[in-house]
Amino acid sequence: MRCLLWVLLSVVLIVAGAHRMGTTAIRDAVSTALRPVQWVVDWPLSHLDQFRRAMMTHDALAVENRALRAQLLELQGAVQRMHAVESDNARLAALLKARLKLPGRVRAAQVLTVHSAPFVRQLMIRAGVADGVFEGQAVLDATGVMGQVITVGTHSSRVLLISDARHATPIVDHRNGWRGVVVGAHAEGTLALAHVPKTADVHVGDRLLTSGLGQRFPAGYPVGVVDAIHRSSNQAFSEVRVKPSAGLERSRWVLLVWPST
């Protein structure tokens, strides 16, 4: 009898969660109580990382230093080109009498854990309310869009990756401006373009960028590259597989983006 009561309570929670009826408060309360557990998990890992760095040999440090200097030089060259492009953009915007959008603030945050429960793609980052993080904030890495913040704690937050089946990202095809939506696919770490008509001008190799629609992700950031297209006569839409640009479950540092002014 008691088992039946607990089963019924579970069903009530599941149905309430599906209809978004107050389960957020329960999740927040339990998450607050579990912060000591998450701190205990994080503490040895962060010290292990420091220990590993302290034990690096001089040669390894020299090699890493040279590689970082070369990468810095390349990035500085790219930044110089970007300044020129921004100036041109500002002049063109002034000609069209359009309001120029200034780039938003960014902040780096360390990835604490990656959650890989069945069909759940989330990660925890070391940044929270104390750092100005807010729900719905865009999260990127060095190469593309990672996801968005879904739960914010005091010093840590949970990020839903774009490869999660519950996430959808509005995109634009860089080649021809075609707009679509990228969703998380059930296959490991892949993305898929949703509801692509068979006549859509999408090719393998097309770069997909955020379109800015929905105002969650700033426009122009890489989401992925079209990897494969399968058109079947007995299906209404094409199946388009997309390879994500970001290292979704490999990145150890992420960038939090604030909206531009």
Partner 1 sequence: MGVARVAVDMMAVRAWGWMMVALLCALWLTCLPMPHWARYARPDWVLLVLVCGVMVAPHAINVGTAWCAGLVLDVLLGTVLGAHALAMTVVVYVVWRAHRRLPVFHPIKRGLCLFALWVLYHTMVLWVQGGGFVLWSLSRVALPSLSSLLVWPWVCACMRLGQPLQRVA
Query: Tokens 């149905």 label which residue?
Result: 15
Among 158, 192, 224, 257, binds partner 1 (CB under 8 A): 158
Nearest distance, CB of residue 101 and partner 1, angstroms = 33
Whose CA is closest to 248, among 77, 50, 114, 127? 114
Nearest distance, CB of residue 229 and partner 1, angstroms = 24
User: Three-state DSSP class for 202?
Assistant: coil
Q: Which stretch binds partner 1 (CB under 8 A): 39-47, 51-59, 126-134, 201-209?
A: 39-47
Footprint of partner 1 on 50-109 (CB under 8 A): none
Q: Which is nearer to partner 1, 209 or 248 (CB)?
A: 248
Nearest distance, CB of residue 235 and partner 1, angstroms = 18
Among 26, 67, 100, 130, binds partner 1 (CB under 8 A): 26
Among 19, 37, 84, 177, binds partner 1 (CB under 8 A): 37
Half-sphere exposure of 218 (CA within 13 A, CB side): 19
Distance (Å) of CA 143 to CA 84, 99, 219, 222, 245: 22, 28, 15, 7, 6
**Cα Rg, the chain, nearest whole Å:** 22
Burial of 161 (0-12, 13-18, 19+ CB in 10 A): buried
Nearest distance, CB of residue 239 and partner 1, angstroms = 17
Nearest distance, CB of residue 120 and partner 1, angstroms = 5
Q: Are 126 and 112 in contact (CB under 8 A)?
A: yes
In the complex, the residues that contact partner 1 under the rule CB under 8 A are 2-3, 6-7, 9-14, 16-18, 23, 26-27, 30-31, 34, 37-38, 40-41, 45, 113-120, 122, 158, 186, 249-250
